[in-house]
């Protein structure tokens, strides 16, 4: 295991990638994005992951977004971890190399998911190839079986990664299976950093032992989760449960109308124009956004979502 001070603790915002109205990337908007997140107490971001639409971005676009975060992160006091994963491990290694140049705090990658690795050894061969692009940076495996459809026992993956990847330090665990999670958290005495990745189950993860999470809704509702952490740490479980229920209601409302496009629209309401979601996800129309705003207003979203 690599010795590092990096820990994905507290709230780590899985950031959106800004787009222009025509769907092309807009790295110039990253500065405003970083400024807003910093104003909300976010100190660490996870860029070009699922929320960042990396699966639908070109290699050059991912580099441009990374370079913009390098500048904005320094300016606004935010570190960033770069997700390099995709179906091309060669692209992943190139992105990891560029992450070093950009001053990233770490890298991460998920499993290739078109032709899928058929064994843990094959999976870890892919991860090791990408991680080797930045051997001096901490590396996380991004486990998200609902999207990759690659599902192996995380403790066995951790063991294989530790044996083959010198800079391996943990798993971004995006899987609501709390039984698997508690095993991963406590593997070898809790040696590895295992941030949680399912916002709707965040309180359950905290109760299981999570120290932090990486989430998309931490962008547009950070105060909700900060308050949840404070309530949990204070032993006010009733309040923490209430806040988690609000999280579930909020996400259900958004997801019913097209999650990615609506999330980006909400960020626009907070003064951060991130443009549309890229195809195939698409952009909600005016009527949908009006309904979204009304339904969110009905649960008090505009009172508790962000620090004002």
- Provide the annotated active-site residues: 142, 172
For the chain, the three-class secondary structure string (H helix, E strand, C coil) is CCCCCCCCCEEEEECCCCECCCCCECHHHHHHHHHHHHHCCCCEEEECCCCCCHHHCCHHHHHHHHHHHHHHHHHHCCEEEEECCCCCHHHHHHHHHHHHHCCCCEEEECCCCCCCCCCHHHHHHHHHHHHCCCCCCCEEEEECHHHHCCCCCHHHHHHHHHHHCCCEEEEEECCCCHHHHHHHHCHHHCCCECCECCHHHHHHHHHHCCCEEEECHHHHCHHHHHHHHHHHHCCCHHHHHHHHHHHHHHHHHHHCCCHHHHHHHHHHHCCCCCCCCCCCCCCCCHHHHHHHHHHHHHCCHHHHCCCC
Residues 170 and 194: beta-carbon distance below 8 Å:
yes
Q: Cα separation of 266 and 71, whole Å? A: 24
Enumerate the β-bridge partners of residue 142. 172
- 184 near 170, Cβ under 8 Å? no
Whether 53 and 93 have beta carbons less than 8 Å apart is answered as: no
Closest by CA position to 174, among listed 106, 103, 85, 97: 85
């Amino acid at each position: 295991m690599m010795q590092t001070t990096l820990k994905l603790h507290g709230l780590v915002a899985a950031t959106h990638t800004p787009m222009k109205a025509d769907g092309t990337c807009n790295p110039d908007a990253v500065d405003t994005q970083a400024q807003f997140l910093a104003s909300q107490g976010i100190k660490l971001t996870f860029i070009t992951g699922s929320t960042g639409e990396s699966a639908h971005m070109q290699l050059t676009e991912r580099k441009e977004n990374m370079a913009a975060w390098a500048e904005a992160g320094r300016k606004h006091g935010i570190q960033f971890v770069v997700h390099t994963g995709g179906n091309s491990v060669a692209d992943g290694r190139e992105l990891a190399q560029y992450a070093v140049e950009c001053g990233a705090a770490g890298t991460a990658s998920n499993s290739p998911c078109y032709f899928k690795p058929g064994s843990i050894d094959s999976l870890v061969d892919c991860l090791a190839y990408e991680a080797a692009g930045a051997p001096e940076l901490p590396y996380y495996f991004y486990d998200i079986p609902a999207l990759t459809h690659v599902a192996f026992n995380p403790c066995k993956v951790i063991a294989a990664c530790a044996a083959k990847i010198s800079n391996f330090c943990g798993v971004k665990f995006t899987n609501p299976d709390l039984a698997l999670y508690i095993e991963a958290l406590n593997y070898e005495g809790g040696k590895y950093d295992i941030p949680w990745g399912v916002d709707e189950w965040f309180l359950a993860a905290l109760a299981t032992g999570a120290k932090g999470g990486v989430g998309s809704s931490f962008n547009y509702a950070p105060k909700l989760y900060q308050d949840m952490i404070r309530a949990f740490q204070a032993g006010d479980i009733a309040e923490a449960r209430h806040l988690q229920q609000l999280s579930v209601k909020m996400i259900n409302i958004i997801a019913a109308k097209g999650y990615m496009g609506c999330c980006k629209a909400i960020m626009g309401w907070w003064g951060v124009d991130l443009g549309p979601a890229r195809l195939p996800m698409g952009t909600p129309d005016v009527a949908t956004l009006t309904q979204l705003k009304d339904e969110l207003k009905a649960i008090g979203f505009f009172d508790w979502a962000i620090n004002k």
